[in-house]
Structures are given as structure tokens and as C-alpha cells.
Amino acid sequence: MSGEAARTYLPQGLPIPVAEADGLSAPYWQGLRQSRLLVQRCRHCATWQFGPEWICHRCHALDSDWTEIEPHGLIFSWERVWHPSHAALRQHGPYLAVLVEFPHAGGVRMIGNLLGDPGQAVSIGAAVDGVFEHHPHPERQYSLLHWQLSSVR
Amino acid sequence: MSAKATADRTLRGRVAVVGIGETDYYRHGASPDPEFKLALKAILAACGDAGIDPRDIDGFASYSEERSEASRLAAALGTRRLRAATMQWGGGGGGCCAAVANAAASIVAGLADCVVVFRSLAQGQYGRFGRATGIDTISGEKAYLMPYGVLAPPQRFAMRVRRYMHEHGVGQEALRAIALASYHHAQANPRAVMYGKPLDAAKYDASRWIAEPFHLYDCCMENDGAAALVLVPAERAGEFRNKPAYVLGAAVGSGYRAGAIPHNSPHYASAGFETVAADLYAMAGLGPSDVGVVQCYENFTGGVVMALAEHGFFAPEEANDYLAFDNLVAPSGRLPLNTSGGNLAECYMHGFELMLEAVRQVRGTSTSQARRNDVAMVIGGPMVTPVSNLLLGSEATL
């Protein structure tokens, strides 16, 4: 295991995210690999949308665009996970997962892990900043987007 | 639309449940029978309960990607003619009441005369729901969740419940009361997997966390077994040996963009029943105060809190007071809940065991009979989409 891989928040071995065969989410995953956060935005009515879809849910235009946004948000909800539901997580835990809302992108939300002490108190509404975690997997490089409390910077 | 046309479009009083049956219930992986055989056994038991020849079944209805297919069942049972085969979209237990609604709709529309609604599960044969190992790559919704350790159902729903608790000030004790009521009722029910295994507050509090705010006892079991109902037109209800339970109403669906992934539904802190509960009451011509007993699907106790509030039994801010053990137990609690033990303590049959229990309540044959049992509600799979619900009643309610 490379030094970089050893610094991942969760142990290696969890499913690797890939774009669907139809390519819908490919820009999102490519963006993460370049440390960029891309979210769909309708080029007709400017509605934000995540997860990606082929159609704008507001105006039904079929050519949604991808827009880069700042990886800052607010904790909308959270959970501390103790039970390992995957072999890779045995002997690991607890860990924190958070649902982060982006007020500057129409309030769309994303799941990530909250870096730092897994036993820490978590507050809904707390400001968080994104941290890109790159996985130099030999066959399938991929990146994840985690979060840390803004005051931690 | 004319008033008459609207009035005609109802299930109210048109269909009766005349048979119920189930296999023995087993811990996951412990069934001596394969899944398809379990389905057959449950259907035979339901037909036996009704006093009907299984060859006279002409329709099958199920949900949650049921694997025991209607055509194979019809061939195996020697069904004389198959006329309806419906499957409700959606995983989990959100479709359990919808499967009954689809069967009832088939009967009301004249597509079929005797429909079996069923669910069969043998996780030893097909793998467990609570495990997510063995997948190398993932795309679609799960790609935004699984790499972060949001893998199995408890982790997928804990955040939704946490948000609800935050918005409405719901405490852990409300979740605990639901678990205690289910286990209490299971102690009277010899069919229950948790029969003879009581739960008290101290044991709940000391139990391990699965995913906060869910303790072990907030999570449904994983079980093997099968269960079935026999539905016929109401005018035939008197031909069978047991007291009929009539469909008073049923509804299916979800609100605006409830299916927006990942965790992007606009009304996130919800069980998904706001529109569906209104539809149910409208069809039945009843309100929450008419309901004497409720069977509510518990994938996790938190979903029960939301679902009961969305059905109007209390305001979310009243959850801590309303969801007290004494209020939730038969015979005379304010709202006896999950009187067979439900998914937490009777058997996790994707909520189908709740349907059978609602029928028993109306018949008066439950092991924890509610004092008010003329109108029994079933609530299917909160927090998934689509969800569904059902009201059953005695002849006196028609």
C-alpha cells in the first residue's frame, strides 16, 4: 500500500465508484480526480441538480451543464457508524458520515466522511470545507470528497 | 369528472381478505426450505385458512422484487387460469400495502376473482440485506454512498432520522418506546422469532450502537419465511369460514421528488407519507381518530415516529409524549402498535407479517388484541419510495 493510500479515512476495499455505462455522472467523477467539485446546473433555467440526471427537473431541458462550485457547505445531517456492513470495515470504527448541503448551489446535498476524531460531537448547521482524497488505485484511479470543520483549517 | 365517477373509483368495501397463512418464521439463513417452497407453503396455509381450493386462485401480487414468480406458482399449484400477475416497483417494505392494493384493484376492475398476495424470503439462499461485501465497483446512487461507508440500510436511514429528531426535538426515548412495545407484544406471540426474549429499557440502553441514533434494537431483524393473504370480491366474503376483513382504503406513492438521489429529496426529514396518508383517509372516509390499532413497518424505529406523525396520530413536536410504552401496548393503550411484534420482534417478512396481524386484529384473534379493533391500519416501509398504506375493517365499518 502506498503512503498516500494509507492516509485514507476509511480502509481500502470498499466499492470503487465509477460512472454509469451511459456516462451520466462521468464529469462528476472526473472533476473529483482534478480536485474540482462539479454539480449539474441547467443552462436554460439555472436550476441546480444533484445527483445528476438527464433532464432538468424544473424546466425539462435535456442538456444540463456542469458547473464548478466551491467545496464549502453546512452539515445537514450526520451519523456515527459502529456496525461494519462490509468486510473492509471489520476492526474499524466508529466512523462519521455527514450529509453536506450547499447553500450556494441551490441547496443540493452530498454525502462524505467528516475528518478528525470519529468520537467528536457533530452539530447540524456547522460549516465544513471539502478535502479531496485521491486513490491511486492501479487500474481504477478515483477520488472522494470528504469534509472537515471550517475552524480546523 | 362527475361525482359518481369519482365515487366509483374506490376500493372501499369492495374487497375482503378471507384467508391468511404463513410458514414458521426462522432466523436468517435458518430455513430448512428454499424460498419458493416457503411461498408455496404460505399460500397453501392461506387457502386452507379460507377454505378455498388453491386451484381457484387466479391472480398473484407481490412487491420488493419478489423472486417467486406468478407463472411458476400457477404452474406448481395447478392454477386453472392465471388472470392477474402484479408486482409493485420499489425495494424494501414500501410496497407491502401496495401489493394488496394492486390485488384489490385487479378484483374491482374485473381482471381477477381470487388473488393471493404474498412475500417469501430465504436469505440463506440469496444473501443478506445487511451485508454489502463482494462488490468491486459501484455506479449510480450507491457510488455516492458506499465509498464513504454508507452501505447497508441502517446507514442509509440513520441520517434521515437524525435530521428529523433535530428538526422536531425528538428524543431517543421515543425510539426506545417503539422497540419496547414490539418486544412486549412478541412475548405473547408464539410465532415470533423473539418470543421468550423480552426487552427492557436497561437492555435497550446498554445495547450496542449500529449507526447512531440506532441501537441494535432499533433495527429490524433479518428472517426467512413466507406469508400470504387471499383476497376476493366483497360480495363473496360470506362464502368462507373466517370473519372477513374488508379493505377500507389503500394508497401508494410519495411526495415531490422523494426519489431524488443521493439524499436530495427536498423534504428529507420525512417517511414519505404526507400525500399518501391523505389519499388513504380520503378513500376510507376515515381519520386518525377512527383507527384503533396500527401495524407500522419498522425497518428502523425512527421511521415509525415519522410515519405515525404523518398519519396524523400526533404532531412531530408531540412525539416524545405520545410515544410512551403505555400508549403503544394492547389492549388499552392509546394506539396499540405492532401487536404481533412486527419486523423488530415477530418476523422480518418485509412487513407482510404486519398485514396478517391487521387481519387478526379485525377478526379478534390476535395474541395481543386491541380494545378497538374494528379499524386496523398497516403502514408500509417508511423512508423508502414509493411507500404505501392500508386500512382494513370489519363488516360493521362498511
Smallest Cα–Cα separation from A101: which of A89, A110, A92, A90? A110
pLDDT confidence of residue B8: 80
CATH number 3.40.47.10 is the correct assignment for the domain at B15-124+225-239:
yes
Listed as own residue / partner, the contacts of B6-10 with beta carbons closer than 8 Å and 24 or more positions apart are B10/B249, B10/B283
Residue of A nearest to B158 (CA): A79
pLDDT at A2: 38
Question: How large is the average pLDDT for residues A46-52?
Answer: 97
**CA-CA distance, A63 to A86, in Å (whole number)?**
37
**Residues B207, B212, B214, B216: is their CA dihedral positive or negative?**
negative
CB-side exposure of A10: number of CA atoms within 13 Å?
32
Residues 6+ apart with CB under 8 A from B3: none
Would you list the domain boundaries of chain B? 15-124+225-239, 151-217+248-397
Burial class (CB in 10 A: 0-12, 13-18, 19+), B13: middle
**Reported confidence tier of residue A1, pLDDT bands at 50, 70, 90:** very low
Chain B residue numbers with beta carbons less than 8 Å from the beta carbon of A81 are: 149-150, 155, 158, 210-212
Computed on alpha carbons and rounded to an integer, the radius of gyration of chain B in Å comes to 20
pLDDT tens-digit series, residues A63-73: 889 999 999 99
pLDDT, chain A, mean: 93
Closest by Cα among B237, B238, B271 to B254 = B271
User: All 3 cell numbers of residue B295?
Assistant: 401495524
pLDDT (tens digit per residue) in B108-135: 999 999 999 999 999 877 777 766 777 8
Q: Does A144 contact B148 at a Cβ distance shorter than 8 Å?
A: yes
Q: Does A81 touch chain B (CB under 8 A)?
A: yes
Interchain proximity A85–B136, CB inside 8 Å: no
The answer to whether the CB atoms of B264 and A76 lie below 8 A apart is no
Q: How confident is the model over B211-261, as pLDDT tens digits?
A: 999 999 999 999 999 999 999 999 999 999 999 999 999 999 999 999 999
Q: Are B149 and A124 within 8 A, CB to CB?
A: no
Q: Is the ipTM of this complex over 0.85?
A: yes
Cβ distance of A87 and B257 shorter than 8 Å: no
Among the partner residues A10, A50, A124, nearest to B264 by beta-carbon distance:
A50
Q: Do A17 and B268 touch (CB under 8 A)?
A: no
Q: What's residue B2's pLDDT?
A: 57
**Residue of chain B whose Cα is closest to the Cα of A98:** B159
| Partner-chain contact B143 A79, CB within 8 Å | no
Which residues in chain B (97-116) have CB-CB distances under 8 A to chain A?
Answer: none
Per-residue model confidence (pLDDT) at position B7: 66
- Which residues of B are annotated as catalytic? 297, 348
Q: Cell match 396500527: residue?
A: B294
CB of A51 within 8 Å of any CB in chain B? yes
Rounded alpha-carbon distances, angstroms, from residue A143 to A32, A131, A133, B58, B129? 6, 10, 5, 53, 27
List, for chain B, all residue ranges whose pLDDT scores fall below the cut of 70.
Answer: 1-7, 130-131
- Is the pLDDT at A4 greater than 60? The verdict is no
Q: Is B209 on the interface with A (CB under 8 A)?
A: yes
Quickly count: other Cβ atoms within 10 Å of residue B36's Cβ. 18
Q: Which CATH superfamily is domain B151-217+248-397 in?
A: Thiolase/Chalcone synthase (3.40.47.10)
Q: How many H-runs (helices) and E-runs (strands) does chain A carry?
A: 2, 9
Could you say which of A14, A94, A99 has the minimum Cβ distance to residue B263?
A99
Predicted pLDDT of residue A138? 82
To the nearest whole angstrom, how far is the Cα of B229 from the nearest Cα of chain A?
34
CA atoms within 13 A on the CB side of B260: 23
Report whether pLDDT(A3) > 50.
no
**A51, A77, A89 ranked by CB distance to B144: nearest:** A51
Cα-Cα end-to-end distance for chain A: 28
Contact B139 A57 (CB under 8 A): no
Is A94 in contact with B209 (Cβ distance < 8 A)?
yes
The secondary structure of residue A37, as a DSSP letter, is E
A101-118 pLDDT, tens digit per residue, is 999 999 999 999 999 999
Please check whether residue A94 touches B, CB under 8 A: yes
DSSP state of A104: G
pLDDT at position A82: 97
State the pLDDT at residue B212. 98
Q: Are B60 and B115 in contact (CB under 8 A)?
A: yes
Q: What residues of chain B lie within 8 A of the CB of A146, using their CB?
A: 148
Which amino acid is it at B277?
A
Instruction: Find out whether the peptide bond into A27 is cis, omega within 30 degrees of 0.
Output: no
B147 touches chain A (CB under 8 A): yes
pLDDT of residue A5 exceeding 70:
no
Q: Which of B362, B386, B391, B367 is nearest to B296 (CA)?
A: B391
A7 vs B103, higher pLDDT: B103
Q: State whether residue B222 sits within 8 Å of chain A by CB.
A: no
The overall average pLDDT reported for chain B is: 96
In chain B, the residue whose alpha carbon lies closest to the alpha carbon of A32 is B144
A132 touches chain B (CB under 8 A): no
Q: Say if CB B178 and CB B337 are below 8 A apart.
A: yes
> For residue A53, what is its C-alpha cell?
440526471
Residues of A in contact with B142 (CB under 8 A): 15
Question: In angstroms, what separates the C-alpha of A74 from chain B's closest C-alpha?
Answer: 13
Which triple of cell numbers denotes residue B307? 410515519
Is there a contact between B212 and A77 if contact means CB atoms under 8 Å apart? no
Q: Which amino acid is at B9?
A: R
Residue B262, judged by CB atoms within 10 A of its CB (0-12, 13-18, 19+), counts as buried
CA gap B209, B372 in Å, rounded: 36
